[in-house]
Amino acid sequence: MSVLSGKKVLLAVTAGIAAYKTAHLVRLFIKSGAEVKVIMTPASKDFITPLTLSTLSKNPVHSTFYEKDEENELWNNHVELGLWADIMLIAPATANTLSKMTNGTCDNLVLATYLSAKCPVYFAPAMDLDMYKHPSTKNSLEALQSFGNCMIPATSGELASGLVGEGRMAEPEDIVEFIEKDIASKLPLRGKKILITAGPTYEAIDPVRFIGNHSSGKMGFEIAKTAANLGAEVILISGPSFQKATHSLIHRVDVKSAEDMYQACHTYYAEVDVAILSAAVADYRPKNVANQKIKKKDTALTIELEPTKDILKSLGENKKHQLLVGFALETNNELENAKSKIERKNLDLIVLNSLRDKGAGFATDTNKITIIDADFNQKEFELKSKSEVSKDIINEIIHKLHA
């Protein structure tokens, strides 16, 4: 999965011959999972049609501050466009537009939106050789980068004039790769390796029956996605679950029983920076597992259970450099039980949720948590989607890592 997945990309097209490449650029952004909107300078429509870019982006394309229908004049709000975007890309960025950006000239929708943008702004210069080397252009490029904008360097090659040299806009594939690498280099968990457990465990009674629980694994999978989106390499150890993890930075390890999960955790634990144990691991398992299916009888069936290994406690006992995060799903005396677990299992953080809170717990799309640290400082969060809860958890972990 690309780091651009889920991002809102605003592509601003200006009047250079390289504008024809923006059709392919839009396709690449869409393929990477981004949502794309396109704005154009009026003159750029001589090089590529708004209809082409609208069709590819599946969004209206605007080039003026307002548009007329039969009865009304409709304002294209440049402020909203600037605030909507997670990333703004100006490509091609002509010498004329670069000069206007540098000096704050605001005579078209692209420039007004640029001046309103609060997101990172990338620009890909495109012009002929002599224009690219002109001192005024060099001043514009230096000034725009000093403002915090990010330049995607022009390349050398055959230009529209027939000359060969610098000034050719970077190819669409290279532009997307440049932005992806730049974003990845700034992600707060880049270079970190995180172990996450998720889902239930199944403890066999016989070849067809097991002891399990209602965990879907959704919370753990959401945490894994959030961590990967922030640059972490994730080892996701999952019990039986229908959840999907498609991110390229997530390595999924499927297990079934508590013993399987114990072994997998200890296999990877030494190499990780953070371990987050969100799985609902069985506390007990049948002491004797039948080799064949147990036949139904009229009399009661008694199954002797024995404790499973305590994965979280064993990791706490072996903790060296790792930040260790546990989960506590409680039904009574929630805070007391969670604090006791921190001490007994040598945790850095614990994520507490209660089955008494509506919308929390197993098989829901929401959760309501309290995060407690080793000093018993606690932070309560309102009921949120598990996707948003995962961000709260990861943000607390990032804070701990940088403390």
The 8-class DSSP code of residue 200 comes to B
Q: Which of 59, 76, 213, 346 is catalytic?
A: 213
Calpha distance 104→204 (Å, rounded)? 70
Cβ proximity of 286 and 304 under 8 Å:
yes
Q: Residues 200, 247: contact at Cβ < 8 Å?
A: no
Beta bridge partners of 166: 156
Q: Are strands 284-286 and 73-75 parallel, antiparallel or unpaired?
A: unpaired
Q: Are 194 and 265 in contact (CB under 8 A)?
A: no
CB 229 within 8 A of CB 204: no
Q: Are 274 and 347 in contact (CB under 8 A)?
A: no
**E strand or H helix that includes residue 20:** none
Structure tokens at 152: 């995607």
List helix spans (H) across 58-171: 78-84, 95-103, 109-116, 129-133, 135-146
DSSP assignment string, 143-156: HHHHTT-EE---EE
Whether 395 sits among the annotated catalytic residues: the reply is no
CA angle (81, 82, 84) in 5-degree steps: 60
Distance of CA 45 to the CA centre of its chain: 34
Residue 289 burial (CB count, 10 A): 14
Residues serving a catalytic function are: 213
